[in-house]
Amino acid sequence: MRSHHAGNPFDKGVWPGYDERCGDGSATKTPSEINAERGLPRGASVYVMGSSSIVEVAGLLAGGRQYLVVEERVALAPFEGKTFVSPARVELRVQRAGGALQITGSIHVEARGECDRCLVDVSLPMELEVEERVEPATAHTGDPFDESNVLAGDRLDVADLTQQLVCSAVPFRLLCSQECKGLCSVCGANLNSEWCGCTGGMTHGQS
C-alpha cells in the first residue's frame, strides 16, 4: 500500500505541519495541500493505493480520524464471461458509523463480453455509485460475496469490495444494441450486417 505519506499516517502523530516527499520522489506536499486539491478539510486522511488493496482502519473505528478518502485502481477478475480490460477506478470516502463503516463514492470500469444475440464483442462503460455499510467480521463463511471478506477486524479490503459491487451490477446479458437481429440459426450469418436468404431459420437469442 502506498499513501501520499510514507509509512502509516496513524504513526506520524500530529498531521498539521507534517511534510514528506511523495513516494516517487516528486514535489513535496503537505497533508493540507493534498486535502486542498481535493476540497477536503484539514485532518482527512488520503490514501492512494499501490500494490496492496488493504486499508488499515483501526484508527478510524477507534474514533481517531473523521474519515479516509481512498483512491485506487483495482484489477478485476473475469465474471460470468465478462472481462475488465483495465483496472477499475475507485474513489471512496470511508467513515465510522457506530461500530461499522459507512462507505460512499464511485467506481468507474469498462466491462467487455460477447453480444448475447450476434456474438460480436461489446464494451460497456459502467459508473457505479457506492453507498455501503459494512460491519467488522468475526469469521469467514467461505462465500466469495459475503461481507466478511470486505471488513475483517480492522482491515478493509477495497479490492474485494470493488469486485463484489461490480459483479453484482454487470448485466447478465450484453447486447450490441436493443435492435440486434442476432445470428441466423441455419447458416450463422450475422443478420445485422448481411442477408443470408435462409428460410425457416430462427435468430440466435431471439424467438
Q: What digits encode the pLDDT tens for the residues 151-162? A: 888 889 999 999
Residue 62 sits in the same domain as residue 143: yes
- Residue position matching grid coordinates 457506530: 98
Task: State the total domains in the chain.
Answer: 2
The whole-chain average pLDDT of the chain stands at 75
**Structural domain that includes position 113:** 49-169
35 lies in a domain? no
Interatomic CA distance for residues 26 and 128, integer angstroms:
32
Measured in Å, how far apart are the chain's first and last C-alpha atoms? 51
pLDDT digit string (tens) for 67-113? 889 999 999 999 999 999 899 999 999 998 888 899 999 999 999 99
Please compute the mean of the pLDDT values over residues 177-187 and round it to a whole number. 92
pTM: 0.68
Residue 77 sits in the same domain as residue 116: yes
Residue 165 sits in the same domain as residue 204: no
21 lies in a domain? no
Residue 194 sits in the same domain as residue 161: no
Sequence-distant (6+) residues with CB within 8 A of 23 are 2, 4, 6, 50
- The least confident of 28-32, 133-137, 184-188 is 28-32
16 lies in a domain? no
3 lies in a domain? no
Residue 159 sits in the same domain as residue 198: no
9 lies in a domain? no
